[in-house]
């Protein structure tokens, strides 16, 4: 497959860019932040996303979706990145849809997928527990109890956890933290007794929560996939999230870069446009090169997921690691080249830096993925 967008994918990008550029420019995110909006996103816009078919990109047609692929989901994520739009697209249309499409029973798919596709249900994945993303070290316990399981533990960085209608929770049904086997995924209603949700306001003003589970009962109908064998299913969902998060980071990085190049052509010091200084030209050219190489790596990972979902791990690790380092460089250079203006809250560029920092940690930073690559190559 050619490593470029098809005509249809380009059209999708243009329509996403048109909609998001008009309805959710950076000012949209800023207003939600300043108003201390209780949901932190716009339900109206989420309905529009559903009407345009974005919510069901990864959902089969017989469940109300358009059965497209990860390249298409990445295209939307990149545009979301450009304007820092807060949206349940990642939690619901990527993570929720992937989890249920790949791991759901017939009944589970029938119950939840149409609601994701029509925008009426917000789903998310609860996996992280400690300060760093270490899914294998999952401690949260699920012990057999009656006809089901009883869950105890705590999760952090649950994206959109404060507004979710469905939690997909990774817990340990056997084995010890650090072991690959023994994980199981559960579908948990956040209104269940024993679930305590704390919305976490973070540096990027996007939406996440910490969630405590205290003696939460889940029936066996709530098991997603196989008991004790959830590791591979979880890894697949995480890879879907990592590749699309990398696409969002690409959007963040390229927008920060574009704004910076524009600034270099406007700002004057010493009687010259600062873009005339070779010290800045070479740094901009270096950054351009890094971004273009990362763009190729991200598209490669998205295509790899579409081609063979279970074998995309290497390409996904490369993409998320590259997106992590490239976007970090992009926002740092953007801030430095904007000078004092970049330090002000009134100026948008700092918002890109804040969002990039969160995306870097989300589902594994560049170090995590470089380490995974080294492990997979046995060194």
Partner 1 sequence: MTASIDTFRKETRAWLEANCPPEMRKPMTREDDTYWGGRNATYSSEPQKVWFERMRDKGWTVPHWPKEYGGGGLDGEEAKIVRQEMAAIGARLPLVSFGISMLGPALLKYGNDVQKKEHLPKIAAGLIRWCQGYSEPNAGSDLASLQTRADSDGDEFVITGQKIWTSYANYADWIFCLVRTDFQAKKHDGISFVLFDMASKGVSTKPILLISGKSPFCETFFDGVRVPKSNLVGTLNRGWDVAKYLLQHERAMISGMGERGGGRPLGQVAANAIGVDDKGRLDDSVLRGQIASFEVDEAALAAAAERAVDLAKAGQAHPAFSSAMKYYGTELNKRRHELLMSAGGIDALEWESSRSHEGHAARSWLRTKANSIEGGTSEVMLGIVAKRILDLPGA
Binding site for partner 1 (CB under 8 A): 1-4, 261, 264-265, 272-273, 275-276, 278, 281-282, 284-286, 288-290, 292-297, 299-300, 314-315, 317-319, 321-322, 325, 366-367, 369-371, 373-375, 377-379
Least separation in angstroms between CB 205 and partner 1? 30
Give me the helix-helix angle, 278-307 and 313-337, nearest 10°.
160
Of the pair 1, 196, the CB lying nearest partner 1 is at 1
Least separation in angstroms between CB 78 and partner 1? 15
162 three-state secondary structure: coil
Least separation in angstroms between CB 379 and partner 1? 4
Residue 105 DSSP class: -
Least separation in angstroms between CB 369 and partner 1? 7
Quick one: which H or E segment has residue 217? Answer: strand 207-219
Residue 309 DSSP class: G
Of the pair 107, 379, the CB lying nearest partner 1 is at 379
Least separation in angstroms between CB 80 and partner 1? 22
Of the pair 214, 265, the CB lying nearest partner 1 is at 265
Of the pair 19, 304, the CB lying nearest partner 1 is at 304
Least separation in angstroms between CB 42 and partner 1? 34
Of the pair 31, 282, the CB lying nearest partner 1 is at 282
Closest CA to 375 of 367, 300, 306: 367
How many whole angstroms separate alpha carbon 53 and alpha carbon 107?
23
Of the pair 219, 375, the CB lying nearest partner 1 is at 375
User: For residues 245 and 363, is the Cβ–Cβ distance under 8 A?
Assistant: yes
User: For residues 169 and 155, is the Cβ–Cβ distance under 8 A?
Assistant: yes
Residue 229 DSSP class: B
| Residue 206 CB neighbours (<10 A) | 24
Whole-number Cα distances in Å, 183 to 90, 175, 228: 23, 8, 5
Of the pair 146, 278, the CB lying nearest partner 1 is at 278
Least separation in angstroms between CB 49 and partner 1? 28
Of the pair 166, 318, the CB lying nearest partner 1 is at 318
363 three-state secondary structure: coil
**Could you tell me the two tokens for 240?**
């879907």
**Which residues are CB-contacts of 56 (< 8 A; sequence separation ≥ 6)?**
50, 63, 64, 65, 66, 93, 97, 116, 117, 118
């Amino acid at each position: 497959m050619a490593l470029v967008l098809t005509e249809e994918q380009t059209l999708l990008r243009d329509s996403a860019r048109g909609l998001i550029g008009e309805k959710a420019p950076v000012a949209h995110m800023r207003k939600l932040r300043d108003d201390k909006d209780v949901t932190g996103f716009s339900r109206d816009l989420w309905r529009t996303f559903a009407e345009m078919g974005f919510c069901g990109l990864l959902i089969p047609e017989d469940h109300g979706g358009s059965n497209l692929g990860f390249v298409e989901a990445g295209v939307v994520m990149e545009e979301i990145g450009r304007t820092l739009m807060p949206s349940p697209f990642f939690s619901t249309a990527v993570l929720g849809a992937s989890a249920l499409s790949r791991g759901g029973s017939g009944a589970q798919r029938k119950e939840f997928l149409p609601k994701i596709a029509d925008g009426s249900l917000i789903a998310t994945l609860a996996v992280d527990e400690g300060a760093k993303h270490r899914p294998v070290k999952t401690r949260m316990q699920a012990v057999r109890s009656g006809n089901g399981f009883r869950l105890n533990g705590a999760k952090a960085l649950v994206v959109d956890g404060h507004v979710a209608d469905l939690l997909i929770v990774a817990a340990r049904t056997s084995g010890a933290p650090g072991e690959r086997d023994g994980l199981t995924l559960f579908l948990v209603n956040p209104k269940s007794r024993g679930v305590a949700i704390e919305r976490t306001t973070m540096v990027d003003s996007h939406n996440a929560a910490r969630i405590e589970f205290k003696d939460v009962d889940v029936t066996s109908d709530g098991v997603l996939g196989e008991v004790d064998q959830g590791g591979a299913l979880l890894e697949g969902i995480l890879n879907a999230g990592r590749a699309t998060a990398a696409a969002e980071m690409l959007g963040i990085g390229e927008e920060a870069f574009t704004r910076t190049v524009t600034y270099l052509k406007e700002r004057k010091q010493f009687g010259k446009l600062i873009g005339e200084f070779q010290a800045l030209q070479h740094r901009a050219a270096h950054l351009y090169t890094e971004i273009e190489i990362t763009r190729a790596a991200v598209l490669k990972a998205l295509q790899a997921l579409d081609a063979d979902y279970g074998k995309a791990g290497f390409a996904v690790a490369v993409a998320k690691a590259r997106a992590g380092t490239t976007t970090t460089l992009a926002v740092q250079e953007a801030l430095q080249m904007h000078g004092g203006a970049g330090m002000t809250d009134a100026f948008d560029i700092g918002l890109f830096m804040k969002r990039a920092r969160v995306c870097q940690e989300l589902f594994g930073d560049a170090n995590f993925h470089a380490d995974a690559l080294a492990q997979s190559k046995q060194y």
